[in-house]
Amino acid sequence: MRRTARIILVLLGMVLILFIALSGLFEDYLWYSDLGYSQLFWTPLISKGIIQIINGTILFTFIAGTLFSIRHAILTFVNERLRKRLRLVHEMDRPLYHLSQRKMTLWLIIISVLISFGVSFVTGFTGWLEVLTFLNATPFGQGDPIFFKDLGFYVFQLPFFFTIYNAFFGPLFFLTFFTIVFYSFAGVIHFQSLFIWKKQAIEINSAARRHLALLITVLFLFKGFGCYLDTFRLLYSQHGLVLGAGYADLHATLPALKALMVLCALSVVGGILSFFKNEVRLLTLPILVIFISIPLLSGLGPMVLQSMVVIPNELEKETSYIQNEIALTRFAYGLDQISEEDYQADQPLTSETLQQELPTLNNVRLNDPHPLLRTYTQKQGIRPYYKFYNIDMDRYRINGEYRQVMLAPREFSYQDLENTAQTFVNLRFKYTHGFGVVASFANSVTPEGLPAFAIKDVPPTTDYQELQISQPRIYFGEMTHDWVVVNTDLKEFDYPEGKANAETRYEGKSGIKLSPFNRLMLSLKHGTLRFYLANEINSQSRILLHRNIMDRVEKLAPFLQYDDNPYLVVDEGRLKWIIDAYTVSNTFPYSSMYPERELNYIRNSVKVVVDAYDGTVAFFAVDTEDPILQTYRKIFPGVFKDLSAMPDTLQTHLRYPETLFKIQSTMLKNFHMTDPTVFYNKEDAWDIAKELFGSEPQNIAPYYSVMRLPDSEQPESVLMIPFTPSSNANNIRNNMVAWLAARMDDEHYGELKLYKVPKNTEVDGPLQVESRIDQDPEISKQLALWDQKGSSVIRGDLVVLPLAGKFLYVEPVYLQSAKAGSIPEMRRVIVAYGDKIVMSETFEEALAQLFGVRLKLSPPPPANVSALALTSMDAELKTEETADAKEPADPQEDTQALLKQIEQIREMLNQLEQQFKKITGDSVDSEGGKNADKAAHEVQPDPDDDSANLDQSKTNP
């Protein structure tokens, strides 16, 4: 009975261990299936399994065959050692332990299985994608300049061949080495002399000789194959000046590799002959020759040629190879698709041209993202547990006007709940989502120096129809890292509302249902019994997993790389995340490596859309000509939808990705030079323009802007960055030489335009403008006065604005108290044009001082403001009239209602009056501009005013 109970307990324990081991896999299956991507689960899983079985079987055959071949020697060796160690025990009339052949066979099988399938597990886990891309490879339609192989060979086939080579050569080498060492210790091999090329230098029996001949023959076959692969790897060489195959690589290393292949072939022949002939030197001499030849041919030869021939005539010898590097690097990073134009940068700005550029001026980014994030947190955080992770830049058509909008989702921060409230029920059932967004126009600032909110409060309110939100709940975001259970008997917290909080129930599509078996497996996976013990869970409850949007898409498609900056958009009342995904390679020939991401080929081929409410994920193919994406579409049919399947309303929010733009800008610093001689001498190398953060120069980050490009009629959304000449200790130049713009609207999406400043035109760069700001006596005096007595200055990002053939520089200046919880307030705007620089309270006043004309810069589109306000008030009045008709009037309530209506009307009239003044403001003549300039310089701050603060140097938020 006890024995039966023990067996049952052991069996139950084994079943429990099996279920625990499979629980994670089962959860993944449920999760992938719930999102409709079960093939993204099964394809890698089955591929890994097949690769492990094939690879493991082949390795098992070699390892087990070798071990069984030396089984008798191993058995003899082990028993001899045991007999010597236990001789004393034997003399004491105790039985001597003897290892039987049966036990030895069992141990050899176990060792073979563990080694072979352990190695194959690693290979299958990491190499499954190389195998599938090899089987589904798509040609690039362009060959390399040396071996004339299609570029797809280096992206798809070569990694697969290296995977095969690495999977077998290493284990076989160690197996051969172990066998030789064991034969030596077991006395099967006797070394009579160190001169192994002599006939009697080594004594070995025939069985061991044939065994080693077989192993060494296979080893030399793989080594020859590796030398063949190394010939193509020369196109990634980093020896000498050229990245890729240079003169020494092709005239010394390549012949050396070919010679090694011949030696390996001869060694294979020697191994075969040694299998049949009793001649050990057929094995030993090839090994000796190979070990001597590798450093001489592959190392010393190319080094001598490089030093003696190439370096004295480097440009002459390397010119054609430099051209290869330039051409293929530009192709790999999409730089060959950049169209170039001259930008004169010396055209005068007149009142007429300024009027024509009003759409651009109306979208100048005065709200800097870093101070804006603090302002959002202080003014719109509502509760401590609401946080804003990032500011997203986008554009919307508001009443027909193209406006740049800055938007931040209000996510729930579980860490900021009171410690006593961080219970299991609250964290998993109650507090499940964030709520709404905050938005403001890039150029809209209130008289108090704060952003004018386009969307605000909880629930979110807006005066603009295009920004209306019907589903503001954020279950999936950038700050959501933990799983939650929804549709429980306990209603979820929705948002704070007076004394009682509003509550809701999840109605989204995704979520794994908590059926009895699912509860069991999830309990084992997460190590908790709460799925059974919690009374709140019912048959309709669901668990939401992987709610962080980056973790979510990376788990679905780990073979893609993703942009660091996902952004949220308002699409027909719903909140949706858009994430840019890249197809990349690090085996593209002759292409310079981008070290931060270890790649040398990149395309933004995929856009990923994640619904913030229900977490549904959609992959859209935007670059259907990319061979890597075409290969992935063959491997995972149906996963990547055509871009035409994306709603038009969502397509208008597609952005050129910032990460890709940074990579391209970095590579463009040198690879805009297409002449090999110029490239070799670095005559025209660039740097990304710099601005000051604190006292240290820092690269300007790419920034989105709504502007009219020089050859365009309409304003459009672009991503741009300026360039200056490359500087070193002996040559510091910060003037503007070019700027790159990425277009992203309609049919122009993805177009890159490089505008070059003529070499005979001198234009101040951003760092020079920053120095001029610091050196201006009036501005520096004012900033110094404000930067004291508990206040500090925050100088925002310097925005470079190409404008009608000239450059305008705009920098907002913020004032912030040193007290905790203070809000940065924009108090001044610095604008520079040519050799003029001014600081004024508003952008309009600064333009008036610079150009002597007051432009009618429009505020946020007002048409819908009054309409929506009147509609809302009219609805309230109708509701109240209906209520009055049903119930007898209370005089006191009537009075309060009337006062409330009067207050609403007064507030509405004040808003309309302010908008009317901004719209109908009269232009000022040049004398008026001078008077405004004079008045601005005459205004001095009160030195005793503690609320004033500013710092000459920017602080890095």
The Cα–Cα gap between 955 and 824 comes to: 12
Is 583 domain-assigned? Answer: no
Q: What is the pLDDT of residue 217?
A: 92
Q: What is the pLDDT, as a whole number, of residue 888?
A: 41
Q: Percentage of the chain with pLDDT > 90?
A: 45
Tell me, yes or no, whether 400 lies in a domain: no
DSSP structure class, residue 850: H
What is the band of 118 on the pLDDT scale with cuts at 50, 70, 90? confident
| Domain co-membership, 178 together with 160 | yes
Q: Which of 476, 531, 468, 475 is nearest to 504 (CA)?
A: 475
Listed residues 295, 312, 329: the one ending a domain: 312
Q: Give the tens place of pLDDT for each residue, 890-931.
A: 444 455 555 556 656 666 666 655 555 555 443 334 333 333
pLDDT of residue 428: 92
Question: Are the CB atoms for 814 and 826 separated by under 8 Å?
Answer: yes
| Alpha-carbon distances of 67 from 57, 272, 275, 810, rounded to whole Å | 15, 21, 18, 76
Query: Are 106 and 224 in a shared domain?
Result: no
Are 119 and 85 part of one and the same domain? yes
The answer to whether position 608 is within a domain reads no
CB 489 within 8 A of CB 536: yes
Residues 739-745, mean pLDDT to the nearest whole number: 94
Tokens for 393? Answer: 């830049």
Give the range among 265-269, 340-344, 694-698 with minimum mean pLDDT.
Answer: 694-698
- What does pLDDT average to over the chain? 83
Q: Are residues 136 and 216 in the same domain?
A: no
For residue 68, is it within any domain?
Answer: yes
pTM: 0.84
Q: For the segment 537-586, what is each residue's pLDDT rounded down to a tens digit? A: 988 999 999 999 999 999 999 999 999 899 999 999 999 999 999 999 99
Within-domain flag for 898 = no
pLDDT at residue number 111:
83
DSSP string, 896-934: HHHHHHHHHHHHHHHHHHHHHHHHSPPP--HHHHHHHHH
In the chain, the amino acid numbered 748 is H
Do 201 and 303 fall into the same domain? yes
Q: Residue 131: which of 43, 19, 213 has the closest Cα?
A: 43
Q: Which of 299, 295, 294 is closest to 248 using CA atoms?
A: 299
- Structure confidence by residue, pLDDT tens digits, 336-346: 999 999 998 88
pLDDT of residue 861: 54
Residue 642 has pLDDT above 90, yes or no: yes
| Residue 529, phi then psi, degrees to nearest 5 | -100, 5
Contacts of 411 (CB under 8 A, 6+ apart): 386, 387, 388, 389, 434, 474, 477, 478, 479, 480
- For the segment 929-941, the average pLDDT, to the nearest whole number, is 36
Report the C-alpha gap between 363 and 860 in whole angstroms: 10
> Where does residue 105 rank: exposed (0-12), middle (13-18), buried (19+ CB within 10 A)?
middle
What average pLDDT score do residues 731-752 get? 88
- Structural contact between residues 165 and 229, judged by C-beta atoms closer than 8 angstroms: yes
Asked if the structure places residue 110 within a domain, the reply is: yes
* 946 band by pLDDT with thresholds 50, 70 and 90: very low
Strands 601-611 and 752-756, how do they pair?
unpaired
Mean pLDDT of 257-265: 93
874 Cβ neighbours under 8 A, 6+ residues apart: none
Reduced DSSP (H G I as helix, E B as strand, rest coil) percent helix, strand, coil of the chain, to 5: 50, 20, 30
- Return the DSSP state at 458: T
Q: Alpha helices, DSSP H only, in 249-312?
A: 254-276, 281-293, 301-305
Q: So what's the pLDDT on residue 113? A: 85
Same domain, 102 and 222: no
DSSP string, 21-63: HHHHHHHHHHHHHHHT-HHHHHHHHHHHHHHHHHHHHHHHHHH
More confident residue, 880 or 709: 709
**Residue linked to tokens 């030195």:** 943
- Is a pLDDT exceeding 90 seen at residue 78? no
**What amino acid occupies position 848?**
A
Burial string for 205-244 (b: 16+ CB within 10 Å, else e) reads: eeebbbbbbbbbbbbbbbbbbbbbebbbbbbbbebbbbbb
Domain edge (last residue) among 143, 160, 186: 186
3-class state of residue 147 by DSSP: coil
Mean pLDDT for the stretch of residues 473-499:
92
**941/774: higher pLDDT:** 774
DSSP 494: E
Q: Are 218 and 298 members of one domain?
A: yes
The answer to whether residues 172 and 134 belong to one domain is: yes
Residue 612 inside a domain? The answer is no
Q: What's the pLDDT tens digit per position in 891-900?
A: 444 555 555 5
pLDDT band at residue 60 using 50, 70 and 90 as cut-offs: confident
The single residue listed with the structure tokens 């009537």 is 894
**pLDDT of 828 higher than 80:** yes
Domain stop point among 186, 214, 241: 186
Longest dimension (CA), the chain: 125
Cβ–Cβ < 8 Å for 479, 487: no
**Least confident segment among 10-14, 134-138, 268-272, 376-380:** 10-14
Q: What per-residue confidence (pLDDT) applies to 904?
A: 60
Res 736 pLDDT > 50: yes
Whole-number pLDDT of residue 727: 77
Q: Where does the pLDDT of residue 830 fall: very low under 50, low under 70, confident under 90, or very high at 90 and above?
A: very high
97-114 tens-digit pLDDT? 556 667 777 888 888 888
The closest of 763, 755, 725 to 738, measured between CA atoms, is 755
| Alpha carbon distances (Å) from 260 to 147, 633, 721, 779, 872 | 19, 40, 50, 72, 84
Residue 629 lies in a domain: no
Residues 159 and 217 in one domain: no
The count of C-alpha atoms lying within 13 angstroms of the C-alpha of 411, restricted to the half-sphere facing its C-beta, is 22
What is the C-alpha to C-alpha distance for residues 287 and 294, in angstroms, rounded to an integer? Answer: 11
pLDDT at 789 over 80: no
Structurally, the chain folds into a number of domains equal to: 2
Assign 178 a pLDDT band (cuts: 50, 70, 90): confident
pLDDT in tens, 380-428: 988 889 999 999 999 999 888 888 999 999 999 988 888 888 899 999 9
Hey, what are 920's tokens? Answer: 């109908």
Please enumerate in sequence order all residues whose Cβ is within 8 A of that of 673, keeping only pairs 6 or more positions apart, or say none. 326, 679, 682, 683, 684, 685
Quick one: pLDDT at residue 749? 93
Determine the Cα–Cα distance for residues 17 and 389; give it in Å rounded to an integer: 41
- For residue 244, what is the DSSP state? S
Q: How confident is the model at residue 130 (pLDDT cuts 50, 70, 90)?
A: very high
pLDDT value of residue 88: 47
Regarding whether 169 and 227 lie in a shared domain, the answer is no
Give the per-residue pLDDT at 909: 62
Is 199 found in the same domain as 161?
A: no
DSSP for 158-206 reads HHHHHHHHHHHHHHHHHHHHHHHHHHHHTTSEEE--S-TTSTTSEEE-H
Q: How far apart are CA 839 and CA 675, in angstroms?
A: 44
Query: Domain span at residue 73?
Result: 58-89+97-186
Same domain, 234 and 143: no
Look at residue 357 in the predicted model and tell me its pLDDT.
Answer: 86
Report the alpha-carbon distance of residue 651 to residue 459 in Å, rounded: 27
- pLDDT, residue 124, reads 61
Has residue 324 got a pLDDT over 70? yes
The residue type found at 224 is G
Q: In angstroms, how far is the first alpha carbon of the chain from the final one?
A: 73
How far, CA to CA in Å, does 472 sit from each of 269, 340, 574?
A: 74, 43, 7
Say if CB 157 and CB 242 are below 8 A apart.
no
Query: Looking at the DSSP assignment, which residues form a beta bridge with residue 753?
Result: 339, 741
- Cα–Cα distances in angstroms (integers) from residue 319 to residues 26, 246, 588, in the given order: 58, 9, 20
Q: Record the tokens describing residue 553, joined without a space.
A: 């898409």
